[in-house]
Amino acid sequence: MQPTGAEHVLPGIDPEDVAEPGAVTVVIPTYNESANVRELLRRIAESVPARIPCEIVFVDDSTDDTPAVITDAARDCPFPVSVIHRETPAGGLGGAVVEGIAAATADWVVVMDADLQHPPALVPDLVAIGDTHDADLVVASRYLPGGSRAGLAGGYRVAVSRGATGLAKALFPRALRGISDPMSGFFAVRRAAVTSDTLKPLGYKILLELAVRCRPRRVAEVPFVFQDRFAGQSKSTAREGLRFLRHLVELRTASPLARMVVFGLIGLTGFVPNLAALYVLTGAGLHYLPAEVLANQLGVAWNFLLIEVLLFRDRRHHRHWADRVGRFALLANADLVLRIPLIALFVGQLHLAVLPATALALLTTFVLRFAGTEALVYLPRAARGPRPLRTGRLPRAARGPRAARPPRTGRDLP
């Protein structure tokens, strides 16, 4: 669904105009955050009224004692707490959030980090504003009046955050219309607005994934002040930055037309290694015909690597890498063989001049090569309709203190 317009909810709203929030599942992805979880649970318990049905789901990729600390700290929490420990952190933090949403039982899911840079006091407000304004997504934004990115340490991180936000909004102007902070990791989403089969998370920018792929019907925003990390070290690294860039490419090339455009641009870059190799080989005394054939293979290898990394990264598991290499090389070289007969056909039968005939042959072989590459090298899975996440609400009966459920693995999810 296309968004029908986002609503900015600014400071100064009369509390009487905001309905009391309904049931909520708080999903918290964790990676070595044992020093933060006790304080986090304490602040959530202080912030969410006991009369509001609430559950907390940690999805943990830690290599330290974080799951054990969560289980112990949950004994003092008035809400049910569960831990899903993943042995294989597929999809990174975004993948953890998707697993948490799949395990949620409330109609509203609030996603937040474990480092207390996202203030727990805002959890009930996110849900209440979503209900009041009939929104499917409520984003806590650092860039609204009253919000702040004060917790970002140093000018470098501020610049990176601003740059990533600008790049995302430039690439997805319609999907992110009205979302001032698409890099925010603090938001509330209606579970009914999320389809599990649609999401393909990569890295930590799960809000961007949700907004672009699920297209929530109506979006609201509230300002928040990004806090200092309570304890531990930031997980933001250069490697995560590269994953974010790959994520942008995957999202932008989701449609066949966009994939074809990127396929063509990658093909154009292949001329650089091709011509460089041709220059070296002919300079070494090799005849230009075998040199052209060998140089073309270097261009083919260059194109294959870029296509693997940038365009079809999520489809590489359909075939063994050697099978993909062979098929791609066969299609790329068949282009040369097919082009000459096509030019002759266009000149002889359609009576085109040589230059337009050559251009038409190039276009025809390009389209055929793209279609062949997608279908024969990166064969997608059989198409299936989106599977909605399970529905249901938490019971509204009063609860006493609950201990954490034992840690589960991803295999225990329905």
Residue 57 has pLDDT above 90, yes or no: yes
- 248/103: higher pLDDT: 103
Mean pLDDT of 260-285: 80
Q: What is the pTM of this model?
A: 0.63
Instruction: Identify the residue with better confidence: 232 or 358.
Output: 358
Residues contacting residue 203 through CB under 8 Å, at least 6 positions apart: 91, 92, 93, 94, 240, 243, 244, 246, 247
Q: How far apart are CA 385 and CA 9, in angstroms?
A: 34
- Work out the pLDDT band at 244, boundaries 50, 70, 90: low
Q: What is the model's pLDDT at position 317?
A: 77
Cα separation values, 366 from 249, 294, 330, 350, Å: 21, 20, 14, 20
pLDDT grade for 247, boundaries at 50, 70 and 90: low
Distances (CA, A) of 131 to 69, 108, 219: 34, 9, 11
Instruction: List all residues 6 or more positions away from 46 whose beta carbon is below 8 Å from its beta carbon.
Output: 120, 121
pLDDT at 243: 67
Residue whose structure tokens are 């999320």: 194
Distance CA 328, CA 248 (A): 24
Cα 48 to Cα 68: distance, rounded to the nearest angstrom? 24
Percent of the chain with pLDDT over 70: 75
On the question of pLDDT at 388 being above 50, the answer is no
Name beta bridge partners: 269: none
Tell me which range, 175-189, 223-237, 338-352, is most confidently predicted by mean pLDDT: 175-189
Distances (CA, A) of 285 to 272, 274, 275, 280, 293: 20, 17, 15, 9, 15
- The ranges assigned to domains in the chain are 6-252+389-412, 256-377
Quote the distance between the C-alpha of residue 299 and its chain's center.
30
How far is Cα 360 from Cα 156, in angstroms, rounded to an integer? 48
> Sign (positive/negative) of CA torsion 402, 407, 413, 414?
negative
pLDDT at 109: 93
User: Which structure tokens are listed for 227?
Assistant: 């806090």
DSSP state of 349: T
Burial zone of 406 (CB within 10 Å; 0-12 exposed, 13-18 middle, 19+ buried): exposed
pLDDT at 43: 92
Asked whether residue 27 carries a pLDDT value surpassing 90, the answer given is yes
Average pLDDT along the chain: 77
Q: If pLDDT is split at 50, 70 and 90, which confidence band does 18 have?
A: low
Note the pLDDT of residue 194.
86
Q: What per-residue confidence (pLDDT) applies to 380?
A: 59
For residue 331, what are its two tokens?
């299609």
**Which residue from 1, 50, 6 is spatially nearest to 24, judged by alpha carbons?**
50
What average pLDDT does range 340-359 have in this prediction?
Answer: 78
> 127-179: per-residue pLDDT in tens?
999 988 889 999 999 888 888 776 665 565 667 667 777 777 777 777 778 88
The residues facing 190 across adjacent strands are 108
CA geometry: angle 135, 126, 243, nearest 5 deg? 85
Please give the share of the chain, as a percent, with pLDDT higher than 90.
15
* pLDDT higher at 398 or 72: 72
Torsion on CA atoms 10, 12, 14, 15, rounded to nearest 10:
80
pLDDT at 390: 41
Chain-centroid distance of CA 369 in Å reads 28
Q: Residue 398: is its pLDDT beyond 50?
A: no
The answer to whether 2 and 215 are in contact (CB under 8 A) is yes
Mean pLDDT of 183-192: 89
- The tokens of 309 are what? 């990394």
The pLDDT assigned to 21 comes to: 66
Q: Any idea what DSSP says for residue 56?
A: E
Question: Which residue matches tokens 């001329």?
Answer: 271
Does residue 346 or residue 336 have the better pLDDT? 346
Classify domain 6-252+389-412 by CATH architecture: Alpha-Beta Complex (3.90)
